Chains A and B, each alone.
Chain A
Amino acid sequence: MYLRLSPDEESIKDIFDSFFDTECSIERVRSSEDSGFDADAWQRFVETGGPGMCLPEICGGGGADLTTAAIVADLLGRYVAPIPFIEHVVATRLIASLDQNNADLPQLATGELIASMALQPLSESTEIVPAGAVANRIIGFRGGEIIVIENANNASPLRNTANLPIARHSFDGGTVIASGDKARYWYQKARSEWQALMAVALTGLGRKAVDIGVTYAKERYQFGVLIGSFQGIQHGFASAITNIEGSHFLSSRAIAALQENANRGEQLAGMAFLFASEAALNAAATSLQYHGGYGFAEEYDVQLYYRRAKGWPLQLGDPGLEYQRIANLYLPKEGVH
């Protein structure tokens, strides 16, 4: 048991921290609000080897594990970075798990091609897909089959709450790359990885949202005193950061469980995702509230966090359904007659 970053992990964190600080500053985030994607930042990310870090070396990747991806996901959340790192990591790992010789893998490993996946089994004729406006390869799961479509001439993005580069796609005519139990297993695993990495990212987002609010509360005076000295405000922040801290531990445990292929990985990933979704939104909403009217103003950064705290996890669909899915993993479906 060792619950800190190792020295190696610390240096990875430092490297990507300075990457995000330069390439995904809040000004850059704002300037890519229309598309939800900063192509220059992705290009720089490609140069760091980030896109393929978690692919096996034999596929041209960096051979790092999910724990390393989590270090990046945490920063991605902190900086609300407009690059589809999480979707790309999980979708490329899925492709590599099914076929190490997939012809796209070399370019996916470098990040010249971007991959993403639909996060629910396909039911409609078209689906809104995360990073669907920028991904070149998109994975879907339908009728026990994993399908890949090519998105050659980038589908048009749909304007949305969180400035996400989402787009609608039809999977008809896609290539089937796996079917049966194998397809089901790997699709679910990729989805769990997305949930766990998203939980980590949301935790980073929520922590930063609290930071932003606490900093403001140490600068803003009302009634002749700093608003941060009001106990009502202190307690709101204290509860928010406690939930974020809890979310940090749970998402980290989920990543570890998936990494070790532990049989609780799927459950913990779903749980971490659901908990982080609420903790992050609560953190951002608390912070926004304690900005008073300025929190509502476009000019202040906290609103960027509030909108993403909702939008990022909702890409997976109604959380109510996810609670039911987790319930079915744990609980008997019927009474004892």
Chain B
Amino acid sequence: MDWSFPPEAEEFRNEVKEFIAEHLTDDVINSTHDGTIHNWEFHQKIAERGWLGGAVPSELGGGGKSAIEMAVMIEELQLAGAPIDGMGVAIVVASVVLELGNDHLKETLVPKLLSGETLVSFGYTEPDSGSDVAAAQTRAVKNGSEWIINGQKMWTTMAHIADYVLLLTRTNPDVPKHKGLTFFIVPLDAEGIEIQPVHTMGTERSNATFYDDVRIGDEWRIGDIDGGWEIMKAALKYERGIAGGQFPSPPLIDAFIDYAQKTTAPDGSYIIENPVVRERIVRSLIDVEVCRGFAYNTAFLASEGVMFGVEGSMTKLFASESYKKHSKWFIDMAGVEGLLYLGEDDAPVGGVIDEHFRHAPVTTIYGGTSEISRNLIAEGLLGLPRTR
């Protein structure tokens, strides 16, 4: 086994680090604290470098960054705590459209997505269907050359800043659930769409979106009628290649080490001198190294053109579960000050410890819950009998 990165990936790592040093300013980081998980300026700087297009597979006309280079970029951006949710969405949707979309979508959408001008939000989840995503009930009915859409989506994150939503709809209620689904890319300024904020414990804002007799042309359909599950699979495939989430802990660990060196515990000793604290920091660092192994392995598989599934589930499960554990440890070890919100005097390291504690729980829920990951591992890797 050879764990070394090819020289061009190492060079690219340096380029990304320099980019971060220049563009991931305090202002950018601070802009994410108020619930905005996207920063347009930073996003567009990434686009200017050609890195959004670079991530699109070259056989689809993308800029030919290798899977390993992409992994390096995603790693560095996460280590620095950069806002990259929008980047992931742009790359996934552009890739899906280039692979399976019609010319209209390719022309109107892809250039603007890759130049960082526009964003698409994901509209899969509904009030009554989350993990069981194929049970979506939002209806799309064909009416001449038009489609009429009615229904509601839940957790349409970034819809309030995006121009489109990748919408999962039901076009046939009379067949098994996976077989009656169709996808559209719906312009969010279409008449009949309402976006309401959903505020969360983690400060970040999501949305509920409502679709009331929304009329769109057939050119906004992506994939076959009733062939939506193929689009879903393609979206998940590209998401696996690009999705972050492997390194949520390092910014927290770094911030805590800094804090623990400068702050004394009630007995007067520095927090960093406490053996319990030291063991927990080491345990957290070990988990991060394990995440590196998982992340490099999926990058390697992607570079070999292997369609991986279970490996992605394991990566997500381990990274999110360990992050949740770390967030609990670090808030404990900061003591009562750990509770303080951003902006309060004495809030440790700018209040990020509290922020991580409140954010961490969502990472084991969105993008496939830990339970769903374990189901997939049990069935896909261990061959245990299906329970559902």
Q: Name A residues whose Cβ lies closer than 8 Å to a Cβ of B.
A: 1-5, 67, 210, 214, 217-218, 226, 228-231, 233-235, 237-239, 241-243, 245-250, 252-253, 256, 268, 271, 274-275, 320, 323-324, 326-327, 330-336
Contact = CB atoms under 8 A, between A and B. Distances in A.
B294 A327 contact: no
Contacts of B318: 242-243, 246
Interface of B: 1-6, 68, 257, 260-264, 269-273, 275, 278-279, 281-283, 285-286, 289-294, 296-297, 299-300, 303, 314, 317-318, 371, 373-375, 377-379, 381-387
Contacts of A242: 314, 317-318, 377
17 contacts: A1-B3, A1-B6, A1-B68, A1-B300, A3-B297, A4-B1, A234-B382, A238-B373, A238-B378, A245-B314, A246-B293, A248-B293, A249-B292, A249-B294, A252-B293, A330-B282, A331-B257
B264 to A, nearest CB: 7
B271 A323 contact: no
A314 to B, nearest CB: 17
Contacts of A2: 1-2, 300
A3 B296 contact: yes
Given A320-B279, A324-B279, A334 B384 contact: no
Contact of B270 (A1, A5, A320, A335): A335
Determine chain B's interface SS by DSSP, over half rule.
helix
B311 to A, nearest CB: 8
A226 B385 contact: yes
B301 to A, nearest CB: 8
Contact of A249 (B275, B283, B297, B371): B297
A248 B290 CA distance: 9
B278 A331 contact: yes
A218 B384 contact: yes
Given A1-B303, A242-B317, A327-B281, A214 B272 contact: no
B279 A256 contact: no
B261 A323 contact: no
A241 B382 contact: yes
A86 B165 CA distance: 57
A249 B299 CA distance: 13
3 nearest A-B pairs in the assembled complex, by CB-CB distance: A249-B293, A335-B270, A234-B378
A229 B385 contact: yes
A7 to B, nearest CB: 13
Given A238-B378, A250-B290, A331-B272, A336 B384 contact: no
Nearest to A271: B286
Contacts, number: 156
A333 B5 contact: no
A237 B285 contact: no
Contact of B375 (A210, A231, A326): A231
A332 B281 CA distance: 12
A323 B283 contact: yes
Contacts of B4: 1, 256
Nearest to B317: A242
B293 A253 contact: yes
B290 A324 contact: no
B270 A246 contact: no
B384 A249 contact: no
A335 B374 contact: no
B270 A256 contact: no
Contact of B384 (A228, A271, A324): A228
A237 B373 CA distance: 12
A327 B277 CA distance: 10
Given A218-B384, A228-B385, A335 B271 contact: yes
Most buried by A among B275, B283, B290: B290
A256 B3 contact: yes
Contacts of B379: 234
Nearest to A335: B270
Nearest to B319: A246
A256 to B, nearest CB: 5
A3 B300 contact: yes
Nearest to B299: A1
Contact of B282 (A67, A210, A245, A326): A326
A229 B383 CA distance: 10
B350 to A, nearest CB: 17
Contacts of B386: 229
A234 B282 contact: no
Contact of A3 (B3, B282, B317): B3
Contacts of A210: 382
Contacts of A275: 286, 289-290
Contacts of A252: 1, 3, 293
B384 A330 contact: no
Contact of A67 (B1, B286, B377): B1
A234 B374 contact: yes
A271 B290 CA distance: 9
Contact of B290 (A1, A237, A247): A247
Most buried by A among B263, B317, B382: B382
Given A2-B1, A235-B371, A332-B261, A249 B290 contact: yes
A217 B385 CA distance: 10
B272 A249 contact: no
Nearest to B384: A228
B151 to A, nearest CB: 30
A210 B3 CA distance: 26
A218 B382 CA distance: 10
A320 B381 CA distance: 33
